[in-house]
Amino acid sequence: MKPADIDFMRLALAEAERGALLGEVPVGAVLVVDGAVVGKGFNQPISAHDPSAHAEMVAIRQAADALGNYRLPGATLYVTLEPCTMCAGLLVHSRISRLVYGASEPRAGAIVSRSQTLDQPWYNHHVQVEGGVLAEECGAVLTAFFRQRRGRDR
């Protein structure tokens, strides 16, 4: 883990909180190139009426637009929750160099929990992965959200 990983993960947590305020599942992401944030996002499939509007997708789209390139070599994506299959594929196609995630996703995580999507030998791009950064904080945001949603926040 690099020293800046915690700072960037905290920015991703702030994005997750923005999503929670809109009633979205609180997952946040920031995309960093050369130490600068070039994209950020939170889950917004409900408010955007877009099933692909996961935090990772939003941040990567924003970064690609800002940089004028659909490929993002040298970029690090920070996301508060282990990515799903769709988002893992997006990491490969956008040529993200490094993924740093917080909490594991035991139900649908496609990095280590349910499948190892990024480890498949047929991909023409390899993503370096660091998991568990601020995992407790990232998991707590999700737990609190679902507890409140179920009416058990007492």
CA atoms within 13 A on the CB side of 70: 3
- DSSP for 4-71, please give it: HHHHHHHHHHHHHHHHHHTTS---EEEEEETTEEEEEEE--HHHHT-TT--HHHHHHHHHHHHHT-S-
What is the CA 3 to chain-centroid distance, rounded?
A: 19
Residue 49 assigned ligand-binding role: no
Q: Is 56 a residue of the active site?
A: yes
138 is in an annotated binding site: no
Task: Please indicate if the annotation marks 84 as binding a ligand.
Answer: yes
> Which of 80, 60, 103 lies closest to 13, judged by CA?
80
Place of tokens 């791009």: 125
Active site residue: 15, 24, 56, 105, which one? 56
User: Which residues carry out catalysis?
Assistant: 56
Annotated binding site for Zn(2+): 54, 84, 87
Annotated binding site: 54, 84, 87
